[in-house]
Amino acid sequence: MHYLYLAVLAAVVLGIIVGFAAPGFAKGLTPLGNGFVNLIKMMISPIIFCTIVLGIGSVAKAAKVGKVGLLAIGYFLAMSTVALVIGLVVGNLLHPGSGLHLDPAAAAKAHQQATGGQGSTDFLLGVIPTSLLSAFTSGSVLQTLLVALLAGFALQKLGPAGQPILRGIEHLQKLVFRILSMIMWAAPIGAFGAIAAVVGSTGWAALRSLLVVMLGFYITCVLFVFVVLGAVLWLGARVNVFSLMRYLAREFLLILSTSSSESALPRLIAKMQHLGVSRSVAGITVPTGYSFNLDGTAIYLTMATLFIASAQGSPLSIGEQISLLVFMVIASKGAAGVSGAGIATLAGGLQSHRPDLVGGVGFILGIDRFMSEARALTNFAGNAVATVVIGSWTKEFDRTKAAQVLSGRAPFNETTLIDDEPAAAPVPEQVPA
């Protein structure tokens, strides 16, 4: 895997070179990046299903699972709100887009993005799959999550009779992770295609014209991760944020090359268990966080909205900004797992508050691919921190194991991506007769 890590780095650099040297050719390499991301997404549903079923099935008391879930939802809501407020403050200080005087007519096609937004009722109904098996083919993380929760609780009720099924799912999980490790060898090809295509499509023109909002967004994300999340991680679990980010370095590189935090979801689950977080906490918190803990998306939505308003000479009042912030807190919860969901949520928010600004979404499309990388990295960091903190709060985090892992004395198994005997896996409790 060390060679694979170097190969991805080389592929990213080569992709940038090809993007500038032969932009026409580079644009045609998009399918390489899309193909790799699709291979990863293919594995997400079975991995989430196995992880959650094993996590819940190994705990006899359903109240314990409910406690983890409630803590996770409360934490996610609080941190997403903090991220939105920070984005709002930075956006008002930088005034991104001011003085550009862009013509909304040039972005008329962006109106189509608004149709991708969902109302709260449609979002809730969309969590229910058409059939038990369709949850694994729809590509919806929440549908898989629902089926896995039902299966996990059903195995709890079965008691000893469900143990053979749990053992079978454990073997299935090992197979799924082994397939994932094989797919990872295609990462250099996917990274090369994705980076080359975006550089060939935009070049330096888009970067120069929208440099302020991009840099502002990047700086805000960095400060949020290392200041806000760093403080939460230290106060909640006594873990150094720099050590945790270094431990997840390969996952960050994978996300950087694909602009999708989903590409690293399976590895995050495996690494959190290896770090010392119990199977039940990792199995519930990580998948839930991918749909409800979108810190980077929250910052992006706020700053992009302020940019669009300023660029068109129609800045939002403080009252409109706060109203929009409340809407984004809710809307951003359904912005994961769908291609272009960030743009769709942005357009949906503007449509509901300032329809005259929806056309300006097209201005952000040119650099959305670049901003999506920082967005995905921040989302991923937020979910990693949340898993460790919630594990610590519920006393399902092995600090001794974490110290060994973060110091390098207990390296992660890159071949199987899973521990045969997770250090912090809870011992099944006896069900009273």
pTM above 0.85, yes or no: no
pLDDT, block means (10 residues), the chain with 433 residues: 70 84 84 78 77 69 66 85 84 68 48 47 74 77 80 83 86 83 81 77 56 81 93 93 92 77 80 89 82 78 80 74 69 48 62 68 61 82 93 90 89 68 44 41
Give residue 423's pLDDT: 42
Q: Nearest to residue 48, comparing CAs of 149, 117, 157, 128?
A: 149
Q: Which long-range contacts (CB under 8 A, 24 or more apart) does 284-287 make?
A: 284/52, 284/55, 284/56, 284/65, 284/68, 284/69, 284/72, 285/68, 285/72, 285/383, 285/386, 285/387, 285/390, 285/391, 286/51, 286/383, 286/387, 287/48, 287/51, 287/52, 287/141, 287/144, 287/145, 287/148
Give residue 227's pLDDT: 94
Give residue 244's pLDDT: 94
Give residue 309's pLDDT: 79
In the block, which residue shows the tokens 């890159």? 414
What are the chain's domains? 60-144+204-406 (1.10.3860.10)
CA geometry: angle 231, 233, 238, nearest 5 deg: 105
Give residue 392's pLDDT: 92
Distance of CA 332 to the CA centre of its chain: 12
Give residue 298's pLDDT: 81
